[in-house]
Chains A and B, each alone.
Chain A
């Protein structure tokens, strides 16, 4: 220990001992060699890879987002189109329905009028036929009745007809007057 004190007194701490200096250099060169030649290139490669992966991931995500956006817009456009189409169809159906209703109504009206007209004609014809038949029957009955009452034969057709017509006219006039 006394040796160390002596050494300390003679030695200047700012004069570097050579063996330590050499060992220091060697030690540092070893560290530098391992790091510079193998380990740092290793990690740099991986850092680069990671950076690329992250950037790739971001790019992928961006692409997916863009695609999703375009698909969404497409869907929206389709939806709008479908809505428009539906509205158009509804409008068309409404118009067609209205037209159809109108047509049917007109048709019904026409048929009704036809039926009514046919009924009127039939009634008129029936009435005429009935009136004709009635006139003849009434004439015959009246002649028979008059013959029996007067006791004279009124066989002469012409006379008979004239007399009946006159009688009927009188009847009609009476009916008119009574009305």
Chain B
């Protein structure tokens, strides 16, 4: 295999600065994976991100299975940690936005959503895996689509067809002459833009984070020659700093994703004024 500098990661080659090869910058190709098996053209295949998604599922279910299978009134360590996580989503997000009475029904969904997203994000800095599954647009889209379906069905179930449309378009008589304009914008924003940005926000954050990590990691290796070694050190420090930063961003993005889902539902459950 020829060492094309634009396609191969630096540490897969002996490519260093002053060796006459260019910087193998990360790009869109860094987010594409050869199928582990199956055929990329036939749409029936299995690749790394799918493996990580399923492994993540196993980890989450396994963790909560061990923690909550036989829960005790006086909790053990594992149960205590899991309870803290559960309580964080339940009280900190769902009860805060939807209230205890309305929110109770959505707690299992939101808890699953939070830990699922967090786990998929977390793969980004877990050694060997080192890829945020949510940086593949399909995963955020799938999750945002589920939220969208629930949101829309709640809207129309709660307010009826006309009431639901009014709810989505922010119908408010006191606006007077600008009401039609507001309704068009609101409707467009709610029905089309919101689900899209909901998915893109998560995807783009993870995509960018992973790109940054790649950039500094590759640079650390690439600069490891001659005077470049000093810069390689700086770059490696940045790898560590960015890893810590990513750890934070992963949790924040999972939190934001669930919080937005809750706030959509909050709008749907709100009484008409």
- List the interface of chain A (C-beta within 8 A of B): 1-5, 7-9, 11, 13-25, 27-28, 30-32, 34-36, 39-40, 42-43, 45-47, 49-50, 53
In the complex, the answer to whether A17 meets B115 with C-beta atoms within 8 Å is: no
A4, A11, A42: the one contacting B69 at CB < 8 Å is A42
In the complex, the answer to whether B44 meets A34 with C-beta atoms within 8 Å is: no
A11, A30, A35, A45: the one contacting B108 at CB < 8 Å is A35
A9, A28, A34: the one contacting B64 at CB < 8 Å is A34
Chain A residues near B137 (CB-CB < 8 A) = 13-16
Known: A16-B141, A24-B143. A4 touches B116 (CB 8 A): no
In the complex, per-residue mask of B50-72: 1 if CB is within 8 Å of any chain A CB, else 0: 10011011001100110111111
Q: Is B101 an interface residue (CB 8 A)?
A: no
Chain A residues near B181 (CB-CB < 8 A) = none
Chain B residues near A21 (CB-CB < 8 A) = 138-139, 141-142
- Mostly, the B contact residues are helix
Which B residues, 65 to 88, have Cβ-Cβ distances below 8 Å to chain A? 65, 67-73, 79, 82-83, 86
Shortest B48–chain A CB gap in Å is 11
Q: List 19 A-B contacts (CB under 8 A).
A: A4-B29, A8-B32, A11-B28, A14-B200, A16-B138, A16-B142, A17-B43, A18-B43, A20-B136, A21-B141, A24-B53, A28-B116, A30-B57, A30-B61, A31-B61, A31-B115, A39-B68, A40-B108, A43-B86
- List the interface of chain B (C-beta within 8 A of A): 1, 4, 6-8, 27-29, 31-32, 34, 40, 43-45, 47, 49-50, 53-54, 56-57, 60-61, 64-65, 67-73, 79, 82-83, 86, 107-109, 111-113, 115-116, 136-139, 141-143, 146, 200, 207
Known: A13-B137, A24-B142, A32-B112. A5 touches B7 (CB 8 A): yes
Chain A residues near B47 (CB-CB < 8 A) = 20
Shortest A158–chain B CB gap in Å is 138
In the complex, the answer to whether B50 meets A19 with C-beta atoms within 8 Å is: yes
Chain B residues near A35 (CB-CB < 8 A) = 61, 64, 108, 111-112, 115
A2, A9, A24, A34: the one contacting B139 at CB < 8 Å is A24
B4, B54, B69, B71: the one contacting A5 at CB < 8 Å is B4
In the complex, the answer to whether A18 meets B83 with C-beta atoms within 8 Å is: no
Q: Which 8 A-B pairs rank lowest in CB-CB distance, beginning with the nearest?
A: A20-B138, A36-B108, A24-B142, A16-B138, A8-B28, A46-B71, A21-B138, A8-B29
